[in-house]
Structure 1
Amino acid sequence: MSVLVDTIVMLGMLVVVPAGLRLTGAPELDRIRRLWPLFAAPGAVSLWLPRGSPATALAACYALGAALLALHAPPRLLRTVRSTTTHRAAPAEIALLTALVTPSVAALALVAERSGHTLFGFGLGILALTVPHFHFAGFAAALVSGLVCRVTDSPGGRFAALSVPLGTLLVLAGYFIGDWAELAGAVVLTAGMWTVALLTWRTIRGRGRDRVTRLLFGTSAAVLVVTMVLALSWALGEATGLPHPTLTWMAATHGLGNALGFALCSVLAWQRLRNGAGSTRTAPTRTVPFLTDPLPTDHGGRTS
């Protein structure tokens, strides 16, 4: 399982996070995105070294980058609180704030695991699985839910953009409170992710002009349905004692599916849409609203 998990984590560090940061369209994140390989490369190398000081030092480099990314969240939150913009933009912003913070949770677990020390009483195996979880169920899921919210501008989109961060927070709290709290988090997170899948399939996928873009969106939506069923079955089994998949099986199915089928396909599809390659419109760039764009208005100046 270790090789598979480490490979999934590398994908999150080196591909999904920087690609996701580009999708936000936030100018203040451009610098950290350009510097990201300087943090992600040492973090990726640390995965393949034996536990000890060298691996810990390299993991700490990644933690520094994740911390710098998280530091962008408080000023954005302050601007959101002070903003007079319609409250309909708030769910997407909450999703983005969640995406900015979750890699630091993964990085903290990585440093502890690479050093060979438990953290808050959690063993090394749980810490190792926490790293990919907060890259994909944390960063990627929150980012994509925010993008879906901005593009659809619907109650379903706002529900997804709020429930995915809430579910992620509840899952994290469940680590400390107990299995039933983690199950509650899994239920909320699944509801949000299934909403993302539904909106992606019904609304976002149709924006793709070319077959590749539509296939990427369709794959990400279909994979979410299956992987979140697995997440629910595991959380339910942990809470009730009912038979459920093992962690090894979850890594090979739920983890790999979310990494490749959902996160990677999603960021590639959204990037194509952002660049105009997969858009139904003729404009070459910025064909859909992204997380930093104002909500569209009608001719009377009201929010549409």
Structure 2
Amino acid sequence: MSVLVGLIVMLGMLVVVPMGLRLTGAPELDRMRRLWPLFAVPGAVALWLPRGGPAAVLAACYALGAVLLALHAPPRLLRNLAASRASAVAPTEIALLTALVTPAIAAVALVAERSGHTLFGFGLGILALTVPHFHFAGFAAALVSGLVCRIADSAAGRFAALSVPLGTLLVLIGYFIGDRAELAGAVVLTAGMWTVALLTWRSIRGGQRDRITRLLLATSSAVLVVTMVLALSWALGEASGLPHPTLTWMAATHGLGNALGFALCSVLAWRRLRNHTDHEGRTA
């Protein structure tokens, strides 16, 4: 695993996921959020050890935490189905459920990569890039799309909250059945992320937001436009054979941009929005 990819994954493990769990507002996740460093710190250490037994064991510690997080999804889904008394689940909830599950996918890839073994026929290089992908295009993207839908409860907001999880799922399926399916997933995911960017810029960034919050939201919106173009160009190139960026270049541009410009700026902005809302509630 390269130094750049390792740093990006550390950001996801140690910062984006625990901050994101707080943003969900789900009381049942509070304990998981407090315990998260017990799993994330060993996982982060594993990134810098040579491939082998010790690195795999530490990665397995992180996988345990990610699986425990994913296990919150089924009972939450059942509660929502019972509350709605229907077979439908709100788009915001679908986005949140996706966010709860995707770190486990990343963790499984991490254990395989750190142990030095291929998984389902995927080489170590692809596994190494799968880890940040499902932290940021999985957890962060799904979480933010759900948060956006909560505020911008419109057709566009619901589209974003549904298309981001669907695109993530299609990309995962594309890993197994072919580049064209992965391209379809990239198209759906891009459409959802561009909708998130548009709604963030038009509906959430304005109002009585302070300057720093507006800057963070504006940065996350602008970065998404560029990084998802790169994602489309790579997926199109893989499916059609047209020239496209290399994986190394994608990690340095698309990956770094999504990690810092989108995910980190988004969770920081939404934390400020949440703190402002909590302060107003206590004042009232």
Q: Which runs of 4+ in 1 moved over 2 A?
A: 84-89, 284-287
Bigger fraction of residues in helix: 2
The change in CA–CA distance for 1:260 and 1:244 in structure 2 (over 3 A counts) is same
Between Structure 1 and Structure 2, how many residues are aligned? 284
Q: Which amino acid aligns with 1:176?
A: F
Task: Report deviation, 1:207.
Answer: 3.7
Q: Does 1:283 align with 2:280?
A: yes
Q: Which amino acid aligns with 1:283?
A: E
Matches within 5 A, 1:42-81: 42-81=42-81
Q: Is the 8 A contact 2:81 2:89 kept in 1?
A: no
Matches within 5 A, 1:23-34: 23-34=23-34
Q: Report the secondary structure of 1:271's partner residue.
A: helix
* In 2, Cα distance between equivalents of 1:86 and 1:209: 37
Measured against aligned partners, the alpha-carbon deviations of 1:148-169 in whole angstroms (never above 9, x if no partner) come to 0011111100000000000000
* In 2, Cα distance between equivalents of 1:184 and 1:285: 46
Task: Report deviation, 1:91.
Answer: 0.1
* In 2, Cα distance between equivalents of 1:88 and 1:151: 20
Q: Which amino acid aligns with 1:165?
A: P
* In 2, Cα distance between equivalents of 1:286 and 1:205: 23
Task: Report deviation, 1:89.
Answer: 6.8
Measured against aligned partners, the alpha-carbon deviations of 1:200-256 in whole angstroms (never above 9, x if no partner) come to 000010145211000000000000000000000000000000000000100000000
TM-score normalised per structure 1:
0.90
Q: Does 1:133 align with 2:146?
A: no
* In 1, Cα distance between equivalents of 2:233 and 2:251: 14
Q: Does 1:258 align with 2:255?
A: no
Q: Which amino acid aligns with 1:224?
A: L
Q: Which amino acid aligns with 2:122?
A: F
Q: Does 1:187 align with 2:187?
A: yes
Q: Report the secondary structure of 1:244's partner residue.
A: coil
* In 1, Cα distance between equivalents of 2:281 and 2:83: 31
The change in CA–CA distance for 1:89 and 1:210 in structure 2 (over 3 A counts) is farther
Q: Which residue of 2 aligns with 1:110?
A: 110
* In 1, Cα distance between equivalents of 2:183 and 2:266: 26
The change in CA–CA distance for 1:124 and 1:285 in structure 2 (over 3 A counts) is farther
Matches within 5 A, 1:214-229: 214-229=214-229
* In 1, Cα distance between equivalents of 2:177 and 2:61: 30
* In 2, Cα distance between equivalents of 1:123 and 1:247: 13
Q: Which amino acid aligns with 1:127?
A: L
Q: Is the 8 A contact 2:164 2:189 kept in 1?
A: yes
- Larger mean Cα displacement after TM superposition, 45-54 or 77-86: 77-86
Q: Which residue of 1 aligns with 2:142?
A: 142
Q: Which residue of 1 aligns with 2:157?
A: 157
Q: Does 1:211 align with 2:211?
A: yes
Q: Is the 8 A contact 1:275 1:284 kept in 2?
A: no
Task: Report deviation, 1:87.
Answer: 9.2
* In 1, Cα distance between equivalents of 2:148 and 2:172: 23
* In 1, Cα distance between equivalents of 2:155 and 2:5: 35
Task: Report deviation, 1:84.
Answer: 2.5
* In 2, Cα distance between equivalents of 1:33 and 1:224: 27
Q: Report the secondary structure of 1:121's partner residue.
A: coil
Task: Report deviation, 1:85.
Answer: 7.6
TM-score normalised per structure 2:
0.97
* In 1, Cα distance between equivalents of 2:255 and 2:25: 28
* In 1, Cα distance between equivalents of 2:196 and 2:281: 26
Q: Which amino acid aligns with 1:83?
A: A
Q: Which amino acid aligns with 2:10?
A: M
Task: Report deviation, 1:83.
Answer: 1.5
* In 2, Cα distance between equivalents of 1:286 and 1:249: 49
The change in CA–CA distance for 1:285 and 1:21 in structure 2 (over 3 A counts) is farther
Q: Which residue of 2 aligns with 1:245?
A: 245
* In 2, Cα distance between equivalents of 1:82 and 1:109: 34
Measured against aligned partners, the alpha-carbon deviations of 1:51-99 in whole angstroms (never above 9, x if no partner) come to 0000000000000000000000000111121112899970000000000
* In 2, Cα distance between equivalents of 1:36 and 1:208: 33
Identity over aligned pairs, percent:
83
Q: Which residue of 2 aligns with 1:297?
A: none
* In 2, Cα distance between equivalents of 1:244 and 1:105: 26
Q: Which amino acid aligns with 2:206?
A: G
Provide the alpha-carbon RMSD of the alignment: 1.8
* In 2, Cα distance between equivalents of 1:233 and 1:286: 49
